A and B are shown apart, each in its own frame.
Chain A
Amino acid sequence: MNSFKKNLLKKRYNAERRFQWYGKIAIGLALSFLAVFMFQIFSKGYSAFQKTWIVTEVHYDKELLLIDAESPSKDDLENADYYDVAYKAMTSLDTGLPEEEDRQLIQMVSYKYEAEVKDLLLKNPDFLGKIVPIKLTASDDVDQVHKGNYPRDIPEKNRRVNDYQLQIYDMLNERGDILSEFNISFFTSPDSREAELAGIASSFMGTVFSILVCLAFSFPVAVLAAIYLEEFAPKNKFTDFIEVNINNLAAVPSIVFGLLGLGVLLAVFNLPRSTPLVGGITLSLMTLPTIIIAARASLKAVPPSIREAALAMGASNMQTTMHHTVPLSMPGTLSGTIIGLAQALGETAPLILIGMVAFVNTIPGTPVDPAASLPVQIYIWSESAERGFVEKVSACIMVLLAFLILMNLAAQIVRHKFEKKWS
């Protein structure tokens, strides 16, 4: 072999190796995007599962509470005036401060601190007249300082926590009066304008209701449609048209379904705005083609021998389908349905259009109460300027992703556990 040929061969082998590396790099890039992404979300969000409390002492002074009765009833405690008692509980942390600057201390706890003071006494009526320790929800800014998310070295006027508050915080922290506990209220309380009080309960229920409504509307229609198209439809222009229609519908951008919900469900049928009912119906229109396609695929996978056997035994076409083909196709249909619902679960744009972005600070009890949904909550919070919402958004994303992973796992399990393997 002469050297020219050798060189050429070497060149070709180098090109071969390079090409393989391009592929490896591409896959590596795709995987590292995913890794960076997950890392970002987790590193930003895990701290939202911790809640910061400030421990102080409260004196349930009967005079300040304006309670006259000797042995006050529950109603008396309910109607007492907690303003001064709560105020004193915070301001007693530093008695050296001039009165007009007291607000600086009050700003260190959430604005609902008065209610927290009240709740403690209502739970323990025998605290009346005593001095007891109390945990108050720290304000968003103190919370962020405690979690180390807030740089302390920027100039004071650019900081939401001033030097004095930092000093008090350091003092409390040294005494061990700043507590970090698992943030239950993130899961049990509705949305709030204050980051330290905001929770996902309202949007979580909104999501659950929308998904249930979506399932109730899309599953029956989709399965029946799939059965017709796969088992009964004559092969003609019209069924071809339906088929093309379904395939194209599956690729229509989700925001168009939002416009449909707005233009038809809200404007023509006058369904209640901002509710999971409308949201669920809109999403069900979107998942309809997905489920139909999955159901048809799994009906197609049932071997013809099953049908032939049933027909040979004298079953009618309808009986063959309903008693044999459909039950055998159910695992595939169900897992397709779950995947379709998981897609619907992450949808945001159509829900925004039908008004599910309204600020809802109550937990919806029925599908016709106004609600947000988890993805919309992510959107609402990420539009918010407060720093505390960044970790809330990340935590909300983690909950949403966990939800999606569970659903996809369920789909996998349904498929692998119950699906019959033919062949």
Chain B
Amino acid sequence: MNLILVTFIILLAFTSYYFGRKKALVIQSSQRLTALPKFYGYYLAAWCAAPALIIFALWSVFEPSIVKTFILQDYTDQNLTKNELQLIYTKVKALAAGTYTGDITNFLDESANKYIQLKGIANSAKVAIILAILIFSLSFAYRSVQKNDRMREPVEIFLKWVLFVASLGAVLVTIGIVFSLLFEAIRFFQAVKIFDFIFGTHWYPAKTFVRDGQPDPELMKDAFGAVPLFAGTFFIAFIAMCVAIPIGLLSGIYLSEYAGRGIRKYAKPIIEILAGIPTVVYGFFAALTVGPFVKEIGNAMGLEVSAESALAAGAVMGVMIIPFISSLSDDVMTAVPQNLRDGSYAMGATKSETVKKVIFPAALPGIVGSILLAVSRAVGETMIVVMASGLAANLTMNPLESTSTITAQIVVILIGDQQFGDPKTQSAFALGISLFIVTLLLNVIALSVVKKYREKYE
């Protein structure tokens, strides 16, 4: 039904385009045109499609909730909670669709009939309203075509609005992220105190699972302490940076200061391949090759090493991050003005002294920015940790044990079927929002540092 309606609107828009263009040619025989003939077509088509589609979209968004209020009106006198009402509504919908398998009470049956009736009314009303709007807007547009009003400006203004709305898309995504995370997270914090979440040291959400019924509040208090996850996240990120910073920074220095053009041309893109490999591939590599390798070496040295160690995951993550640091620090060091170098050489400094004492300090803000971006990347990395570092949230600082991170726990909680409304599911969103805040802060700082640096030298 909806599909037919939309197709109809779009087809009508196309026909009105051709109609408008033809009309312009007719007008041309008697008077001067105000714009190219195709603008007459665009004008009609835009007036045809835009209002109808906007109304259609608004209708589709609001119809379900209006129908829901009408149906649930009958239940207001029964003193039901929000969840129970939701359940009843789902039952009614299922019954109306003929997929309901439970017991059918008279009341439910009545509601289902009412639902079908309301849906029918809504559908015919929608078609009628949209047809009316089509007729109205088309006749309005046709009149101005007949009058040979200016045609190009309104079309261009319309296009500009389309462009503007598209640019709101990115903002809309951000709003979507913030609200979807906040919405569930707030409900989570109604069940679990925010204090227990941020400062608790035990993360064991599976403990709260109770079939039918409310979990014990005492248990809840002790199951959602996110400290082990925060610690694990930064611990693994730290290991990753221990690998990535020396290698990345030295590579960046070599590429920008020592390497000839030939080496630079090939080495840089090849190193950047490391950043283009999907993370799941790194995860597989870490779990299958690096993990056992670390374990073997550790055992040979007489150490207790778990097969899924933070070290393996962190090291592989570090390899993945090398290009972020090497390319960005190469860029910022190349941007350091040549006269700083020349000044240093003129004082008799060697190349490495120039790098260490002049170029590196000058480029430091940019390098710090690139490292912060890399940290934010490491904090948000998921698959390597899920596959290589185990899933039990241990509060440990031993790189040879397994630890878990925020991202890995989100995956663990949400893999498979989820029950919305369950504190365990909601806890994933609470973790998500803490992750979002941390990475956002890192990015904002990094970007502003880099921007300041750029302004200084460019």
Report chain B residues within 8 Å CB of A259: 177, 180-181, 410, 414, 428-429, 432
Taking a contact as CB atoms under 8 Å apart, the answer to whether A225 and B169 are in contact is yes
Picked from B267, B274, B280, B350, the residue with its CB within 8 Å of the CB of A348 is: B280
Of B248, B285, B420, which is in contact with the most chain A CB atoms at under 10 Å from its CB? B285
Contacts A26-B251, A259-B428 known; A233 to B167 CB distance under 8 Å?
Answer: yes
Report chain A residues within 8 Å CB of B429: 259, 263
Number of interface residues of B (CB under 8 A): 87
A316 at the interface (CB under 8 A from B): yes
Of A241, A289, A352, A390, which is in contact with the most chain B CB atoms at under 10 Å from its CB? A352
B119 at the interface (CB under 8 A from A): no
Taking a contact as CB atoms under 8 Å apart, the answer to whether B176 and A260 are in contact is yes
Quick one: CB contact mask for A241-264 with B, threshold 8 Å, 1 for yes? 110011111011111111110111
Quick one: CB contact mask for B242-279 with A, threshold 8 Å, 1 for yes? 00001111110111001000000001001101101111
B152 at the interface (CB under 8 A from A): yes
Per the 8 Å Cβ criterion, residues 209-249 of A in contact with B are: 220-222, 224-225, 227-229, 232-233, 241-242, 245-249
* Interface window among B126-134, B200-208, B375-383: B375-383
| Bound Cα distance from A345 to B277, whole angstroms | 10
B287 at the interface (CB under 8 A from A): yes
Closest to B153 in A: A316
| Bound Cα distance from A375 to B417, whole angstroms | 20
Taking a contact as CB atoms under 8 Å apart, the answer to whether B380 and A253 are in contact is yes
Picked from A20, A27, A379, the residue with its CB within 8 Å of the CB of B387 is: A379
Number of interface residues of A (CB under 8 A): 83
Taking a contact as CB atoms under 8 Å apart, the answer to whether B436 and A252 are in contact is yes
* Interface window among B7-15, B22-30, B156-164: B156-164
| Bound Cα distance from A252 to B163, whole angstroms | 24
How many Å from the CB of B250 to the closest CB on chain A? 4
Of B163, B273, B407, B443, which is in contact with the most chain A CB atoms at under 10 Å from its CB? B163
Taking a contact as CB atoms under 8 Å apart, the answer to whether A254 and B380 are in contact is yes
Taking a contact as CB atoms under 8 Å apart, the answer to whether B439 and A253 are in contact is yes
* Interface window among B141-149, B210-218, B351-359: B351-359
| Bound Cα distance from A346 to B381, whole angstroms | 13
Taking a contact as CB atoms under 8 Å apart, the answer to whether B443 and A251 are in contact is yes
Per the 8 Å Cβ criterion, residues 24-73 of B in contact with A are: none
B347 at the interface (CB under 8 A from A): no
Report chain B residues within 8 Å CB of A247: 443, 447
Closest to A285 in B: B173
Picked from B254, B386, B432, the residue with its CB within 8 Å of the CB of A23 is: B254
> Footprint of B on A, CB under 8 Å?
12-13, 15-16, 18-20, 22-27, 29-31, 33-34, 37, 40-41, 220-222, 224-225, 227-229, 232-233, 241-242, 245-249, 251-260, 262-264, 267, 285, 288-289, 292, 316-318, 342-343, 345-349, 352-353, 355, 357, 375-376, 378-379, 382-383, 390, 393, 397, 400-401, 404, 408
Taking a contact as CB atoms under 8 Å apart, the answer to whether B380 and A260 are in contact is no
Picked from A252, A357, A400, A401, the residue with its CB within 8 Å of the CB of B177 is: A252
Extra pairs beyond A221-B166, A401-B277 (8, CB < 8 Å): A16-B350, A232-B160, A232-B164, A251-B373, A253-B435, A260-B177, A355-B417, A397-B281
Taking a contact as CB atoms under 8 Å apart, the answer to whether A40 and B289 are in contact is yes
| Bound Cα distance from A211 to B354, whole angstroms | 48
How many Å from the CB of A18 to the closest CB on chain B? 8
How many Å from the CB of A422 to the closest CB on chain B? 20
B116 at the interface (CB under 8 A from A): no
How many Å from the CB of B46 to the closest CB on chain A? 13
Report chain B residues within 8 Å CB of A285: 173, 176
| Bound Cα distance from A343 to B277, whole angstroms | 9
Quick one: CB contact mask for B164-192 with A, threshold 8 Å, 1 for yes? 10111111011011001101100000000
Taking a contact as CB atoms under 8 Å apart, the answer to whether A30 and B180 are in contact is no
B125 at the interface (CB under 8 A from A): no
| Bound Cα distance from A258 to B435, whole angstroms | 13
Picked from B167, B250, B270, B382, the residue with its CB within 8 Å of the CB of A22 is: B250
Report chain A residues within 8 Å CB of B276: 342-343, 346, 404, 408
| Bound Cα distance from A267 to B279, whole angstroms | 27
Picked from B251, B284, B379, B418, the residue with its CB within 8 Å of the CB of A378 is: B284
Taking a contact as CB atoms under 8 Å apart, the answer to whether B169 and A379 are in contact is no
Report chain A residues within 8 Å CB of B176: 260, 264, 285
Taking a contact as CB atoms under 8 Å apart, the answer to whether B163 and A260 are in contact is no
Taking a contact as CB atoms under 8 Å apart, the answer to whether B411 and A23 are in contact is no
| Bound Cα distance from A393 to B247, whole angstroms | 29
Taking a contact as CB atoms under 8 Å apart, the answer to whether B170 and A225 are in contact is yes
B288 at the interface (CB under 8 A from A): yes
Taking a contact as CB atoms under 8 Å apart, the answer to whether B435 and A255 are in contact is yes
